[in-house]
Amino acid sequence: MGTALPGMTCHGEILEARQRFVLRKLGEELSDKGWYLAGGTGLALYLGHRKSVDFHWFNSNRLQPENLAQELRSTSLSVEIQGVGKGTLHAVIEGVQVSFFEYTYPLLDEPVRCHEVGVDLASFEDLACMKLSAVAQRGSRKDLVDVWAVLQRLNMRDVLRLYKRKFGVRDAGPVLYAVTYFGDAERDEMPEMLWEADWEQMKADLQRRVREVWNVEI
């Protein structure tokens, strides 16, 4: 079970009713088995900056997707398995898109319990690094929005230091380039924001933050 951090606000308002229902039914049991919520929903529960429609759960233990699928089907919930692969399972549970991933990168800190919705979240530092990794793979608009939101709390230099430690890399150049590449993101729709924010201003802010560290971090 994750540790509740003093003073942490869990922004349950980012969730729809059916998302809350799924978390209440599954969150604690999954947490007890080593699963922690990350992705856009995990980050939005920390920051409250936007809505997020799906759940991404991660676990360092070996994932046997067929066994997990059977466990999910044995609950009282409506479960539709959409796909399984090595270390992954994708499903729709009570109308909510849910994915499970075997994820062996080390945690920088223990997961944090969000008591309001009954689920363990990856630490904010781990989520920040995972978002940078997602942007490095494909810079979707929602992931770039999330990186921008992270940088309202942490500075770029600190996030890069954590990223290097989590993923064991030394060269930050590729991820810095990815944070300022908007070609794919321009084709995406804007996520439903709860913060006052403008896409053009976000891009300018990301470019400025990268310029500030470019010569130091690469």
Q: Does residue 152 have a pLDDT over 90?
A: yes
pLDDT the model gives residue 215: 75
Q: Name beta bridge partners: 193.
A: 50
Task: Spell out the residues 6+ positions from residue 14 whose beta carbon is closer than 8 angstroms to its own.
Answer: 41, 44, 45, 48, 50, 51, 52, 194
Strand, helix or coil for residue 55 = strand
Tokens of 27: 């969150």
| CA torsion angle 36 42 46 49 (round to 10) | 180
Mean pLDDT of the chain, nearest integer: 94
pLDDT in tens, 77-124: 999 999 999 999 999 999 999 999 999 999 999 999 999 899 999 999
In a 13 Å sphere around the CA of 134, the CA atoms on its Cβ side amount to 19
Residue 217, pLDDT > 90, answer: no
> Which residue reads 């059916």 in tokens?
18
Q: How far apart are CA 117 and CA 148, in angstroms?
A: 25
Confidence of residue 60 (pLDDT cuts 50, 70, 90): very high
Chain centre to alpha carbon of residue 161: 18
Residue 5 has pLDDT above 80, yes or no: no
Q: Which of left, alpha, beta for 184 (phi over 0: left; psi -120 to 50: alpha)?
A: alpha
